[in-house]
């Protein structure tokens, strides 16, 4: 018997996407606070501790659910949206920055997917949003996500969001894939995940790819993003400093922009 609510959805947009969730009477979807875009009037919004999967276990269960979120760097609370009317009603959730929304049916992956800590957007109620501790020191220290990643467990639909274009790779048994640590969005529980050092002193000093790669060995599925948020933020900050610096309006500053290909 399926525990998570069965929801229908449609994704709109290209670079700045949002997902529209269609709910039948009594159905609920949980989401990160502040991600709601719009909703029908028959939708009731409630703030809950954690992800709501521990609501039937009393105060301590709720507290444990909220504590899991603190460890992954998220807020104590989530928001539950329930259709209280008749017929169907819709609620939509927007991407926090340019990228793609990834729909994942957890039933297709034995009820569990592991992802980076800020990837979760929303899910059918009954989905558990917990923590996944790394048992490998190298992965914890240098893997880009530390010792703690996020895990989604259940038998319903969940939605992730990541930056840029999303590549979905299906690895065969023993197939090996290396990914920039910041570009790894998530993977199924059957994938062996670790980090490896970049080989070659010139590659380390001048390659610009960092010291480590994420090493993933199949079987299983891996999701990779082309534009991690920290890379986007660094680029914006770099440009903001250039345009807001002392060279703004000077002859040398204008000449530098021309030479850089930025024009006048």
Give CA–CA dist 248/264, Å, rounded: 11
Contact 169, 191 (CB under 8 A): no
Give CA–CA dist 196/82, Å, rounded: 45
Contact 143, 114 (CB under 8 A): no
Give CA–CA dist 254/264, Å, rounded: 6
**Residue 77 domain flag:** yes
Sheet hosting strand 176-180, strand order edge to edge: 176-180, 212-217, 192-197
Write down the residue that tokens 């010139």 correspond to.
Answer: 202
**Residue 256 domain flag:** no
**Residue 214 domain flag:** yes
**Residue 258 domain flag:** no
pLDDT attached to residue 101: 96
Sheet hosting strand 18-24, strand order edge to edge: 8-12, 18-24, 88-94, 36-39
Contacts of 230 by beta carbon, 8 Å cutoff, 6+ apart: 182
**Domain harbouring 158, CATH code:** 3.60.160.10
**Residue 150 domain flag:** yes
pLDDT attached to residue 208: 46
Per-residue pLDDT of the chain (264 residues; tens, 9 = 90+): 567 788 899 999 988 899 999 999 999 999 988 899 999 999 999 988 766 665 555 555 555 555 555 555 556 788 999 999 999 999 999 998 889 999 999 999 999 999 988 899 999 998 988 887 665 544 444 444 444 788 899 999 999 999 999 999 999 999 999 998 889 999 999 999 887 766 545 444 444 455 677 889 999 999 999 988 776 676 677 767 666 554 444 444 544 444 344 444
**Residue 240 domain flag:** no
**Residue 154 domain flag:** yes
Number of domains in the chain: 1
pLDDT attached to residue 11: 97
**Residue 58 domain flag:** yes
Domain that holds residue 103: 8-231
């Amino acid at each position: 018997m399926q525990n998570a609510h069965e929801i229908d959805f449609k994704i709109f947009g290209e670079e700045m996407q949002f997902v529209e969730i269609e709910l039948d009477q009594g159905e609920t979807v949980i989401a990160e606070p502040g991600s709601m875009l719009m909703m029908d009037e028959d939708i009731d919004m409630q703030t809950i501790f954690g992800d709501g999967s521990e609501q039937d276990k009393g105060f301590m269960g709720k507290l444990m659910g909220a504590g899991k979120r603190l460890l992954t760097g998220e807020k104590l609370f989530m928001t539950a949206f329930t259709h209280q009317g008749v017929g169907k009603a819709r609620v939509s959730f927007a991407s926090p920055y340019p990228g793609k929304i990834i729909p994942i049916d957890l039933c297709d992956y034995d009820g569990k997917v592991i992802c980076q800590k800020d990837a979760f957007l929303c899910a059918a109620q009954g989905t558990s949003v917990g923590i996944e501790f790394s048992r490998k020191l190298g992965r914890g220290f240098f893997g880009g996500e530390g010792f703690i990643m996020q895990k989604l467990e259940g038998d319903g639909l969940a939605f992730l969001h990541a930056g840029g274009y999303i590549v979905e790779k299906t690895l065969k048994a023993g197939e090996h894939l290396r990914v920039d640590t910041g570009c790894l969005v998530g993977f199924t529980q059957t994938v062996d995940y670790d980090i490896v050092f970049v080989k070659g002193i010139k590659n380390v000093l001048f390659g610009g790819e960092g010291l480590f790669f994420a090493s993933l060995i199949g079987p299983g599925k891996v999701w990779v993003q082309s534009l991690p948020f920290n890379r986007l933020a660094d680029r914006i900050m770099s440009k903001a400093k250039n345009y807001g610096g002392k060279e703004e309006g000077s002859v040398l500053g204008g000449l530098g922009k021309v030479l850089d290909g930025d024009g006048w």
